[in-house]
Amino acid sequence: MSPIESADVVVVGAGIIGAACAEALSRAGRRVLVVDRGAPAGATTASGEGNVLLSDKAPGPELALALAARRRWPALLESLRGELGDLADVEWEAKGGLVVATSPDSVGSLRIISDAQREAGVEVHSLGPEGARKLEPHLTGTVTAAAHYPEDAQLHPVLAATALLAAVRARGGAVVGGVEADGLVVRGGRVAGVRIGGAAVPCGAVVNACGPWAGHFSVAAGAPIEVMPRRGMILVTAPLPPLVRRKVYAADYVAAVSSGDVDLQVSTVVESTAAGTVLIGSSRQRVGFDDSLEVEVLRRLARNAIRLFPVLEGVPVMRAYGGFRPYTPDHLPVIGEDPRMRGLWHASGHEGAGIGLAPATGRLLADLMDGRRPEVDPVPFRVDRPALMAEVRT
C-alpha cells in the first residue's frame, strides 16, 4: 500500500488542513505519511472558494489565527516556489474584500465591527456609497455604506493543497490516496501506529485532519471530539467579462458565519475567479451529510446576488456545487494533542475558513508537537476546552 512502512507522523486526511500540517511537520524535519480515503484535495477543499479573509472575522482567537495565516501564506508560497517552481503557482491574489451595507440599520453595526477589527490590526477603510461604487462600479444603487479590506486575498484551494503535498513528497514524505484509516494502534496508553485498511503502520503521532469527518475518525480512534458538517452551496455563472473585482459581500454575512442556527441561512457573497466565472454564495445549513439538491436554496442565492449586482440578472448559471464545512459547537477550530490519548492530534473544525487558516494551523500544530513557542495563543483551540468537551462527555 504505502511507499513507506513507517513514519514519524501519519496525517489522516489530505485536504488543505492535512496538507498544511504535513508541510509544516516535514519542514521541521519529520518523515510524514499523508493518507486519504478519497483523492487528495477532493473533498471539502475542492468546494472552497479559496478566500483568505480577515474581513469576516470579529476580534478574538479566530482573527488572531487568521492574521497569522494571512502573513504566512505569501511567505510560504514564496518558499515553496524555491522548492517546487511553477507548482507553487496557486493563483494567489490579494484582491481585497468589500463588505457592503444596503440598509440604514446595518451602517452602524458595520462601523462597529470594522472599528474593532482595525483595533486588532486589520487594515479597514470605511467608505460611503460613492466610494464603494468607485471600487465596484456594478454594485447596486442601494448601498448605504461599505468597508474595504485590502488584505483579503484569494487562492486556488486545489492548487494550494496539491502544492503543499508536493513539498511533503519532495522532502521524503509520501501521500497515498484511496486508503482509509480506521483506528489507532495504542501501546502503553499512547499512539504507536495507525490502522489503515487492516494493516498497522507504525508511527509516533497521528494527526486527525479528516475535515467534516473528523468526528467519525475521532470515534474510531477512541477519543471522540464534536465536529459536525454544515452544508454550503455555491452557484457558478458562465464565464463573464470582468465585472466584480473583489470579494463582495453583504454585511449580514458576518452574523451568519458565527450563527449556530440549524435553519437554512443564506447570505450574499459574490466574487469572480481567474477563469471569468462569478461565484455566488453562500448558504449554511445543518442537514448532516445529505447532499441532495434543494432548488429553494439556489433560488435564494440567485435573488440575493441580483440584489447586490443587478447586472447579473441576465447571465447564465451553469453549475451549482456544495460541500460540508467542518464545524465545532463554539465555531473555533480544534488544533492540538488529545489529552486522553497521547500522540493523537486533531486539526479540524475550520468551518468556512479552512483554506485561509491552513498555514497557521499547520505551523501551530508543528510548533506544539516540537515544543516550540507558538506564534498564536493555542489555548482557545485546545482539545479539552469546555465548549468542545462538554458535548463530548455527554
Ligand X SMILES: Cc1cc2nc3c(=O)[nH]c(=O)nc-3n(C[C@H](O)[C@H](O)[C@H](O)COP(=O)(O)OP(=O)(O)OC[C@H]3O[C@@H](n4cnc5c(N)ncnc54)[C@H](O)[C@@H]3O)c2cc1C
Binding interface with ligand X (CB under 6 A): 12-18, 35-38, 42-45, 47-51, 180-181, 209-213, 217, 232, 234, 323, 325-326, 348, 350-356
Which residues face 235 on adjacent strands?
280, 320
Residue type, 199: A
Distance CA 217, CA 207 (A): 10
Q: Residues 43, 323: contact at Cβ < 8 Å?
A: yes
Distance CA 290, CA 394 (A): 25
Distance CA 161, CA 174 (A): 14
Distance CA 176, CA 23 (A): 15
The site partner of 3 among ligand X, another protein, none (C-beta below 5 to 8 Å per kind) is none
Q: Residues 149, 123: contact at Cβ < 8 Å?
A: yes
Site for another protein in 337-356 (CB under 8 A): none
Distance CA 63, CA 301 (A): 27
Task: With CA atoms as reference, report the closest residue to 57 among 47, 67, 48, 49.
Answer: 67
Of the ranges 68-76, 92-100, 170-178, 222-230, which one interacts with another protein (CB under 8 A)? 170-178
The site partner of 180 among ligand X, another protein, none (C-beta below 5 to 8 Å per kind) is ligand X
* By the rule CB under 8 A, 179 interacts with another protein: no
Among 108, 222, 276, 386, binds another protein (CB under 8 A): 276
* By the rule CB under 8 A, 17 interacts with another protein: no
* By the rule CB under 8 A, 302 interacts with another protein: yes
CB of 37 to another protein, least distance (A): 11
Distance CA 182, CA 119 (A): 45
CB of 32 to ligand X, least distance (A): 15
Task: With CA atoms as reference, report the closest residue to 164 among 376, 372, 366.
Answer: 366
Among 6, 8, 42, 60, binds another protein (CB under 8 A): 42
DSSP three-state, residue 249: strand
Query: How far is the first Cα of the chain from the last one, in angstroms, to the nearest whole number?
Result: 38
Residues counted in the chain: 394
The site partner of 314 among ligand X, another protein, none (C-beta below 5 to 8 Å per kind) is another protein
The site partner of 275 among ligand X, another protein, none (C-beta below 5 to 8 Å per kind) is another protein
The site partner of 389 among ligand X, another protein, none (C-beta below 5 to 8 Å per kind) is none
CB of 347 to ligand X, least distance (A): 7
CB of 299 to another protein, least distance (A): 6
Among 1, 39, 75, 199, binds another protein (CB under 8 A): 39
Of the ranges 116-124, 181-189, 319-327, 372-380, which one interacts with another protein (CB under 8 A)? 319-327
Number of residues that bind another protein (CB under 8 A): 52
Distance CA 65, CA 153 (A): 15
The site partner of 348 among another protein, ligand X, none (C-beta below 5 to 8 Å per kind) is ligand X
* By the rule CB under 8 A, 82 interacts with another protein: no
CB of 262 to another protein, least distance (A): 19
CB of 20 to another protein, least distance (A): 16
Strands 265-272 and 278-284: antiparallel
Q: Residues 143, 310: contact at Cβ < 8 Å?
A: no
Which of 71-95 are b and which e, b meaning 16 or more Cβ less than 10 Å from the residue's Cβ? ebbeebbeebeeebeeebebebeeb
Residue ranges binding another protein (CB under 8 A): 38-42, 46, 87, 156-159, 162-163, 165-166, 169, 175, 177-178, 235, 237-241, 243, 275-277, 280, 292-296, 298-299, 302-303, 305-306, 311-321
